[in-house]
């Protein structure tokens, strides 16, 4: 089979399409003929060597696929060979074939393309885990979603819209029409506006109830101050360490990490934080997966919305395997509105 391989740590050009052995199919497993594979920001960090959970190069990453069941292992009654499915993949998803436990796959609605299917598992699972399970978002509450035009940002906006929240979203001004179309009521240009000052202006100084942020310590500290009594901040990434050059900048990464201890709950607030009634959560979906063994708790509640169209994955662009470097550049340069996917 062909696969997109991180041959070594470095810029997008280190991505190579190579022939690799077909994965075996064990008892309780299915093998999927991949038609589309999602790319996440974590994949770009893995490529430059700043994602500690990723396998060491040469390796194949990828956490989600859409395709057709090519074969099934002993004891598998469903899904069946030929079924259209979506699945979470513990790496190895950016290949023509991938093997997963049968329980990690679910049906791809006929009205959705494979590309749209590959845009669903990780983004929507992250949004649901952050906003619903950790954030406890309720109708009428205010939510601030950073990077609202990205794959997770659009997914979170759709989830928050379904709950009935008042949605604030940050993006570059050129993407404001796109995020408003998804349900953002208050679009904030993070490049030319101080998002914290703008949120406080719009809310007459009250702040918001839930914030979802994958940017980094520079924004985490501002986020915390924006929370009103009972507010919840969910930190689920650190894109600030990625400079957008496509290369690893250890100095920038270390400076960013050094700010983390002071980003949310600095030691001098250890007593007063009890009186502020605020909460801070960290979310790592790979570790969630490791602990629970699957994504069912954060995907099953969303399947009805996916089937009836309330949740609609947005694909920014689908790149063939041979253009994987271009796909990574698009993400790193923050040019995408929606999910970037690979197709064999």
Q: What tens digit of pLDDT does each residue of 301-320 get?
A: 999 999 999 999 999 999 99
Mean predicted confidence (pLDDT) in 68-93: 97
Assign 273 a pLDDT band (cuts: 50, 70, 90). Answer: confident
pLDDT at 12: 98
Residue 276 reports pLDDT greater than 90:
no
pLDDT at 20 over 70: yes
Tokens 């919305």 belong to 305
Positions of CATH 3.40.50.720 in the chain: 122-286
The band of 216, judged by pLDDT with boundaries at 50, 70 and 90, is confident
Percentage of the chain modeled with pLDDT above 70: 91
State mean pLDDT over 275-282. 90
pLDDT at 44 over 70: yes
pLDDT band of 142, cuts 50, 70, 90? very high
247 vs 287: which has the higher pLDDT: 287
Q: What is the dihedral of CA 9, 11, 17, 20, to 10 degrees?
A: 10
Instruction: Answer yes or no: is pLDDT of 241 > 80.
Output: no
Q: Residue 7: helix, strand or coil by DSSP?
A: coil
Question: 303: which residues sit within 8 A by CB, 6+ positions away?
Answer: 106
Please report the pLDDT score of residue 217 as a whole number: 81
pLDDT mean over 181-199: 97
Instruction: Give the HSE-up count for residue 26: Cα atoms under 13 Å, Cβ half-sphere.
Output: 2
Confidence of residue 260 (pLDDT cuts 50, 70, 90): low
Kindly report whether the global pTM for this prediction surpasses the value 0.85.
Answer: yes
3-state DSSP assignment of residue 56: coil
The answer to whether 125 touches 295, Cβ cutoff 8 Å, is yes
State mean pLDDT over 284-292. 93
Euclidean distance between CA atoms 122 and 141, whole angstroms: 25
pLDDT greater than 90 at residue 248 = no
CATH 3.90.180.10 segments of the chain: 2-120+313-343
Q: Which CATH number fits domain 122-286: 3.30.70.360, 3.40.50.12280, 3.40.50.720, 3.30.465.10?
A: 3.40.50.720
Calculate mean pLDDT across residues 235-245: 73
Split at pLDDT 50, 70, 90, the class of 102 is: very high
Confidence grade of residue 275 (pLDDT, cut at 50, 70, 90): confident
CATH 3.60.70.12 fits 2-120+313-343, yes or no: no
Determine the pLDDT at residue 123: 97
Phi, psi at residue 19, to the nearest 5°? -85, 130
CA distance 1 to 21: 6
Q: How many CB atoms lie within 10 A of CB 169?
A: 30
pLDDT(49) > 60:
yes
DSSP string, 231-296: EEEEE---GGG--SSSS--HHHHHHHHHHGGGTSS-GGGTTTHHHHT-EEEE--HHHHHHHHSSSH
């Amino acid at each position: 089979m062909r696969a997109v391989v991180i041959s070594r740590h470095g810029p997008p050009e280190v991505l190579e399409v190579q022939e690799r052995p077909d994965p075996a199919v064990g008892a309780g497993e299915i093998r999927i003929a991949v038609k589309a594979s999602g790319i996440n920001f974590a994949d770009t960090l893995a490529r430059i060597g700043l994602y500690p959970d990723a396998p060491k190069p040469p390796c194949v990453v990828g956490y989600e696929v859409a395709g057709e069941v090519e074969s099934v292992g002993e004891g598998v009654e469903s899904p069946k060979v030929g079924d259209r499915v979506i699945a979470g993949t513990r790496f190895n998803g950016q290949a023509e074939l991938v093997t997963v436990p049968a329980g990690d796959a679910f049906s791809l609605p006929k009205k959705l393309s494979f590309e749209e299917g590959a845009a669903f598992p990780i983004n929507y699972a992250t949004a649901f885990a952050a906003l619903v399970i950790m954030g406890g978002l309720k109708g009428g509450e205010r939510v601030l979603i950073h990077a609202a035009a990205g794959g997770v940002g659009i997914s979170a906006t759709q989830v928050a819209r379904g709950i009935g929240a008042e949605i604030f979203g940050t993006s570059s001004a050129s993407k404001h029409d796109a995020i408003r179309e998804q349900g953002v009521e208050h679009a904030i240009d993070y490049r030319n506006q101080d998002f914290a000052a703008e949120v406080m202006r719009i809310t007459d100084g009250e702040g918001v109830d839930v914030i979802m942020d994958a940017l980094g310590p520079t924004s985490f500290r501002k986020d915390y101050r924006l929370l009103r009594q009972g507010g919840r901040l969910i930190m689920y990434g650190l894109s600030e360490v990625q400079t957008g050059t496509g290369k690893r900048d250890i100095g920038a990464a270390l400076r960013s990490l050094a700010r983390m201890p002071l980003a949310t709950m600095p030691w001098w607030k250890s007593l007063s934080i009890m009186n502020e009634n605020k909460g801070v959560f960290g979310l790592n979906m790979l570790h969630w997966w490791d602990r629970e063994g699957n994504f069912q708790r954060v995907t099953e509640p969303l399947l009805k919305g996916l089937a009836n169209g309330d949740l609609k994955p947005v694909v920014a662009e689908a790149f063939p395997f041979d253009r994987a470097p271009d796909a990574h550049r698009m993400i790193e340069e923050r040019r995408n509105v929606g999910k970037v996917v690979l197709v064999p």
